[in-house]
Structure 1
Amino acid sequence: MVAALPVLAVGYQADWTGFHEGPGARSEFPLGDAFIKANGKEVVPLVFYARWACIPFSLIGALFAYRWARELYSPAAGLVALILFVFEPNLLAHGELITPDGACTSFGIVAGYTFWRWLKQPTWMRAALTGGALGLAELSKMSWLILFGLWPMLWLIWRWLEPKKVECRESEGTSQTENVIAASSSSHQPSTINHQPSAPQLATILLLAVYLMNLGYGFDGTGTPLKEFQFVSTSLAGLEKPGTPGNRFRDTWLGQIPMPLPKQYILGFDNQKKDFEEFGHRSCLRGEWRDEGWWYYYLYGLLVKVPSGTWALFAFVIICRLVQRSRPVPLRDELVLLTPAIALLALVSSQTEFSIHLRYVFPALGLSLIFISQVGLLLTCPTHIHPKRERGSRPAVPCSRCGLVWVKRFLPLALTCLTPVRSLLVCVAMAYSVASGLLVYPHHLAYFNDFVGGPRNGHKHLLGSSLDWGQGTHAAIAWIKDHEPSSRVEFAMWSGTLATVLLSQPPDTITDTNFGTARTSKLILFSADRFSDRGPYSRSNQNQPVEEVVKRFASGSVLVRVKQPVDSQ
């Protein structure tokens, strides 16, 4: 909706002939091609304006990542979170696209931050702000539906982990200074001592979010009885084969219940569930193609797509947290931060019908960057890892039975003595993370880290929206016009509509239905996934062509020269 505003302002040509409604209908794809054909080359500035309208979502995410890290850990941590978020290549890539993942990441941070602040100081004003933020997060993408279950659970945990009120009376053997320190530490969160977040406020937050979800859809179909829906997922249709319309609730008492959400929101959830049950397209990981996905796809994707400098900071945080004797912040504060990220990653990883889009877990990545930002404490607090002890006291050794006694005793001391060194390491890791992302500009979508040899080897590990989503079509067509202006061109990609418009000549286009049967051309422009999975092209011809890779573009697409004709079948 936001991306459409500037397009509406400047004007456009529309073609709605491809639109149709029905169970499981996905009209957005033919409508997209029709939009490109109707506007011709003018579609390029229209998409440019639409993408600019989405940039503020990333700025909002960066601002609230900074504020959350600053208030949770330290001002230096806030600066670290801001830098990591702003220069993270994956978030940069999707922050400029007209897809919901960037907004989902940002509004997930906003919602989590406002919820955390409400837990700390539960006022009705903060409850209203939290409900509004949750509503925006739900409107951005369905990924955050899990918050309706997680937040009540986190609310209970927050109350259960409520710190006990510290007595400040001076006792025998206790100095006045120690009492002051104890009192100040207990009053660090004064609003949480005798003012716990209440159930009515929590209910208000959830109800306000539901109201905003309906408001965003204009209350279209809100209150429709469950029995009147036509579902296509096995879970909701109750039929064995996904894609077959049905409704398992039609003849039950549940079917009489009016749904509190917009009709299209519920049908969209059903369509997504159907894709997770039967997708129809193959998945690829490390050059292996198969009809189903991998449970570890997203973990592996983060390993090779997140900058190695960021991973170094994460490893440093884990090491320091393992050896330190006290938490930098209370456990319940970090549970509010990390539980949604872990839950989202686990939920998406459990859906193994297909593994194509690493972007599904970017909201978890945004929250994780805030957790990593606590390395800022090491830049400003030299005694954070190894607090001072009274003379003659012995260091606590919590794991003396596991053979790590000496590590537990002396590693914290070593880290403390090497404060300048560890500060330098943190700064170097941050600088390397930023630089590695900037070096691939403007091809952030095709970024891969040093663990796999950088972007030049990315196609060997991940494809699809993690590498080539057509973002390099302009550059590829421009190169063809400059170096091969008289060549005939085929397009082997999911949709060659935009490339056809940019080329300004009618090429032979290889689509999903005629891939491999089009007339032989001198050049074939492959998308990265089609170049990797050329099985249908090869099987459709008895006489195999002799191919020569002319150019592999930074965006992942590949230009191939066919030296021998291919007999069409």
Structure 2
Amino acid sequence: MLNFFKKNYILIFLIIFSFLLLFSSAKFNSATTDEGVHLYAGLTYLQKNDFRLDTEHPPFLKELSAAVINFFHPNLPQDGLWQKAGNFYYDSWQEARILSEDFFYKSGNDPQKLILWGRFPFIILTLILGIFVYFWAKKLYGKKAGLFAGFLTLFFPNFLAHGILINTDVGLALFIFISVYFFGKYLKSSQLRTNWQNLVLCGLFTGLAFASKFTSGFLIPIYLVLIIINVILSKNIKIFFKFFCGLILILTIGFLVVWMAYFFSFKIPPDPNLAENVSLWSGYNLSSSLQMAIEKNRIMLFPAEYYKGIFLVFRHAVSGHGSFLLGQTSNYGWWYYFPVAILYKTPIPIFVWLILSFFYFKKIRSKNIFDEYLLIIPIIVFLGLSMFSKANLGLRHILPIFPFVFIFISKSINLVDFKTIKFMRVQKKVLIPALGFLILILWYLFSSVVTYPNYIAYFNEFAGGQKNYYKILVDSNLDWGQDAFRIKNYLDKNNIKTGYIFYPWNGDSALEYYNINLQPLPWDGQGVKGKVVISSTYLQLFGFDWLRKYPFEQITPGVFIFNVN
């Protein structure tokens, strides 16, 4: 054990430093808008074996968070809303939100304890992701590259932002990443016993991905493309059938894991003809043939809530969601939304290392070119398919691409031999690249540290400072409800006791809990005078243009206080 610590002390230091940033920022950020719903729903899964709430997200990560909170024996509210949410053919998102707000703020529970310890499993998952990135990069490019990739992952501002939230994005990134790793080993291995182990492990982690978020379905085209590339490189078309059968087994194991997350439920969708209210697909022009197919094949659709969730996510992605980008608003999104989000919310050194990795690719690439495809294909497929979505809500939706990016660019560190640097004697052609690389590393670290603890609001220098963030992106890119603590502190510091607020991320009960006793802001502004606090997301998306003519300050990058006089 002592020998292990001696050999890996740098990695251990990075993990501890990252943990301190994650855990302390988890304490200093209030609950974001979906966390209460996820945690409350997870508790109902565990305590009631009932999956009626929050079906738009599979249950595993919610169950993981709820398993920790179960030790505190929280009180769960129940009323008529719970019964209403039991209608399978009804989207009960509003009932889930109200119940979760009651759970947090009106049921005798301690909201701060719930949110902090509910977040703890996600902090651990984020650290595991950094460790796994280290080992894969080390295997491909050496220990120096492994430490570099681990550093990039553990201090990536967007992982520090979403790695503390009761949400699905970082967990999905971890499980997709590990799934692709074992799928690559399965494709490369020629030993039968080892191949079976890789196949089973790939199936297990694929199942965990499927049980965490529905965009994990992008793994299927990723696997297919990797199979085709492997067949082309090996020049052996006969192995295609072998690997395709292996993929079927992987998906079968994955389904069993998903089924286990639903506690092996045999529940199937009820007959829609007998349902009291069928509003799930009303207004979406669902073809009669598809409705008939659902009715005829209901017996195979178990667990029922998993398939309901798939439908809800597909409906959301196709029908769109109110979004903001570069001064524009849209319900249908933009194909270039995610590239723009990457441009502004990724530390600039990443782009420099990416250019170096491509420019010197032949010199520093892995000996086996297929290893490079294992990193590049998931990025291309996941990002490419995400660009078709009309629900443009944040960079968090493409977080699974970044571990692959970090390993791919980690090889660039092998362009520099830091051991040869002796400042008084070394040649400039060695010293300058090494110093340049070191400056980029310090720049990257500075980006992480200076943003603490409000990592959700991270933007790089291309944005031109926090006065411009809200002009580029909002929602989970900037303000997602995490600023209630900071609003309260600002009001107390400036002795502001009257005014108006529009910060509805977690309802009026959350504002009351934080002792933010301002009046609700009317939509039309009639009769409003004095101080007005408002979220940047709602300012940009929900028709508060009448406010813009008044002077304002920024409480945080994503929250404004206007002086309506």
| 1:25 corresponding residue in structure 2 | 92
Structure 1 residue 95 displacement after superposition: 0.2
Runs of 5+ unmatched residues, structure 2:
1-62, 420-426
Alignment partner of 2:209 out of 134, 137, 143: 137
Whether contact under 8 Å (1:491, 1:507) holds in the other structure is: no
Whether contact under 8 Å (1:135, 1:210) holds in the other structure is: yes
1:337 maps to amino acid: L
Identity %: 23
Structure 1 residue 503 displacement after superposition: 4.2
Q: Distance in 1 between matches of 2:518 and 2:484?
A: 14
| 2:423 corresponding residue in structure 1 | none
Q: Distance in 2 between matches of 1:76 and 1:261?
A: 47
| 1:50 corresponding residue in structure 2 | 118
Alignment partner of 1:3 out of 43, 65, 69: 65
| Mapped pair 1:294 → 2:334 | yes
| 1:34 corresponding residue in structure 2 | 102
Q: Distance in 2 between matches of 1:456 and 1:288?
A: 17
Whether contact under 8 Å (1:221, 1:262) holds in the other structure is: yes
Alignment partner of 1:108 out of 157, 170, 176: 176
1:299 maps to amino acid: P
Whether contact under 8 Å (1:138, 1:145) holds in the other structure is: yes
| Mapped pair 1:526 → 2:564 | no
Alignment partner of 1:255 out of 287, 296, 306: 296
| Mapped pair 1:429 → 2:437 | no
| 2:520 corresponding residue in structure 1 | 509
Q: Distance in 2 between matches of 1:373 and 1:291?
A: 38
Structure 1 residue 351 displacement after superposition: 1.8
Whether contact under 8 Å (2:77, 2:99) holds in the other structure is: yes
| 1:93 corresponding residue in structure 2 | 161
Q: Distance in 2 between matches of 1:23 and 1:357?
A: 26
| 1:349 corresponding residue in structure 2 | 387
| 2:372 corresponding residue in structure 1 | 334
| Mapped pair 1:206 → 2:233 | no
Is 372-381 or 122-131 further displaced after alignment?
372-381
Structure 1 residue 103 displacement after superposition: 0.6
2:530 maps to amino acid: K
**Partner-residue secondary structure (3-state), 2:145:** helix
| 2:558 corresponding residue in structure 1 | 556
| 1:275 corresponding residue in structure 2 | 316
Structure 1 residue 130 displacement after superposition: 1.4
| 1:475 corresponding residue in structure 2 | 486
Is 328-337 or 444-453 further displaced after alignment?
328-337
Q: Distance in 2 between matches of 1:452 and 1:302?
A: 12
| 1:319 corresponding residue in structure 2 | 359
Distance 1:253 1:317, change over 3 A: closer
Alignment partner of 2:188 out of 120, 123, 131: 120
**Partner-residue secondary structure (3-state), 2:292:** coil
**Partner-residue secondary structure (3-state), 1:442:** coil
Alignment partner of 2:415 out of 356, 360, 378: 378
| Mapped pair 1:462 → 2:465 | no
1:34 maps to amino acid: D
1:372 maps to amino acid: I
Structure 1 residue 16 displacement after superposition: 3.3
Q: Distance in 1 between matches of 2:545 and 2:468?
A: 24
| 1:189 corresponding residue in structure 2 | none
Q: TM-score, normalised by structure 1?
A: 0.76
Structure 1 residue 82 displacement after superposition: 0.2
> Any residues of structure 2 matched to 1:111-260 within 5 Å, and which?
111-121=179-189, 122-162=194-234, 198=243, 200-221=245-266, 241-242=283-284, 248-252=289-293, 255-256=296-297, 258-259=299-300
Structure 1 residue 77 displacement after superposition: 1.5
Alignment partner of 2:78 out of 16, 25, 35: 16
> Any residues of structure 2 matched to 1:60-79 within 5 Å, and which?
60-79=128-147
Q: Distance in 1 between matches of 2:109 and 2:499?
A: 20
Runs of 5+ unmatched residues, structure 1:
165-193, 383-415, 539-543, 564-569
**Partner-residue secondary structure (3-state), 1:48:** helix
Q: Distance in 1 between matches of 2:441 and 2:279?
A: 47
Alignment partner of 1:362 out of 378, 396, 399: 399
Q: Distance in 1 between matches of 2:353 and 2:223?
A: 29
Distance 1:361 1:456, change over 3 A: same
Distance 1:83 1:442, change over 3 A: same
Deviations 1:207-228 (A, max 9, x none): 1111101111113346669999
**Partner-residue secondary structure (3-state), 1:553:** strand
User: What is the root-mean-square deviation in Å for CA atoms of aligned residues?
Assistant: 3.3
Structure 1 residue 261 displacement after superposition: 5.0
**Partner-residue secondary structure (3-state), 1:161:** helix
2:416 maps to amino acid: L
Structure 1 residue 433 displacement after superposition: 1.1
Deviations 1:142-169 (A, max 9, x none): 11112123314422421331289xxxxx
Count of residue pairs brought into register by the alignment: 482
| 2:51 corresponding residue in structure 1 | none
